[in-house]
Amino acid sequence: MITTITLNPSVDKRYDIEDFHRNGIFRPKNVERTAGGKGLNVARIVHTLGEPVIASGFLGGENGNFISKELDRLDIENRFIDIKEHTRNCIAILSKNSGQTEILESGPKISKKELNLFLEQYTEMISKTDIICASGSLPENIPSNIYRKLIKIAKKKNIKFILDTSGEALIEGIKEIPYLIKPNKKELEIIEGKRLDNEEDIITSGRRLVNKGIEFVVISLGKKGSIVLKDDKIFRIKVPKVKVRNPVGSGDAMVAGFAVGLRKGYNLKNILSFAASVGTANAMDLGTGTVKLKNINNIMSKVFIEGLK
């Protein structure tokens, strides 16, 4: 079983606008409303890949009801804590001339009672879990060390914990040594407290994290692919060029690929190839956090993995 944690989910609204610019009035060509949040993107893709998954976190209000119904419709088991305040909205505007613009609400306030209920449920829920994927930002008043607490509970049960977040939540989470993290260059610079000017600096930073005990450090470099450090091994991963329809959720798709590859017991290079292919396949779909299996299979044969010293 794979468990996904989304502490700050959202209803994601995507608008496709032909010529988006400031101070305009627009009629989008396409509008999509989905159950969003990074962990929910992971859950959808894990489900598509045929692995059992449970989604958990906090949900409230009409948006929370919408997300719950969407997960039920997709036949994804969900065990969210009901909260008093409303789940947030997030808006993405996609346009050929101006790329991707995002408007992200901060999210609801979680009461101490609601947080304690979640922690109690989490401890019980993960007893049959192999891998936990915790993704995304935190609601306003959740302590920044919450992921650190979740990792500690998981490690006591020998469960692999994948952490994909940023800022203080990432810095705090790293202190408890998760199994896998997926920072980008900017997030690495925040961890290091300084600029990383070249690939050598990035690798040196990644090595420091591996030396702390983190099994996988996956460094996202955008269009340049990614660098992965595992034990004393370093790999550069490059994926083939594809027709990009919607890049939102590609990092979450890659996390899902790692989780599924690990659960299936793939060897190291197959895990890397599979995860990169799942992430790339997401960008080929209009939907956020959606993939087609045929696209994954086509991409896998074209992924380039280079060992670095």
- Nearest in space to 94 (alpha carbons), one of 180, 18, 208, 184: 18
What number of other Cβ atoms are within 10 A of residue 55's Cβ?
30
- Nearest in space to 219 (alpha carbons), one of 245, 254, 172, 193: 254
| Sequential DSSP letters for 192-239 | HTS---SHHHHHHHHHHHHHHT-SEEEEE-GGG-EEEEETTEEEEEE-
Q: Which two tokens stand for residue 26?
A: 């627009």
- Nearest in space to 235 (alpha carbons), one of 244, 225, 243, 247: 225
Answer for the pair 264, 131: CB distance below 8 angstroms, yes or no. no
Per-residue confidence (pLDDT) for residue 257, from 0 to 100: 97
252 among known catalytic residues: yes
What number of other Cβ atoms are within 10 A of residue 148's Cβ?
19
pLDDT in tens, the chain (309 residues): 999 999 999 998 888 888 888 888 878 888 888 898 999 999 999 999 999 999 999 999 999 999 999 999 999 999 999 999 999 999 888 887 777 788 888 889 999 999 999 999 999 999 989 999 999 999 988 999 999 999 999 999 999 999 999 999 999 999 999 999 999 999 999 998 889 888 899 999 999 999 999 999 999 988 788 999 999 999 999 998 888 887 878 899 999 999 999 999 999 999 999 999 999 999 888 778 889 999 999 999 899 999 886
The count of structural domains within the chain is 1
Answer for the pair 34, 288: CB distance below 8 angstroms, yes or no. yes
Residue 180 CA, chain-centre distance (Å), reads 12
Per-residue confidence (pLDDT) for residue 23, from 0 to 100: 83
Range of the domain at 295: 2-308
* Residue 273: exposure state from Cβ atoms within 10 A (0-12, 13-18, ≥19): buried
Catalytic residue (choose from 12, 16, 164, 252) = 252
What CATH number does the domain containing 51 carry? 3.40.1190.20
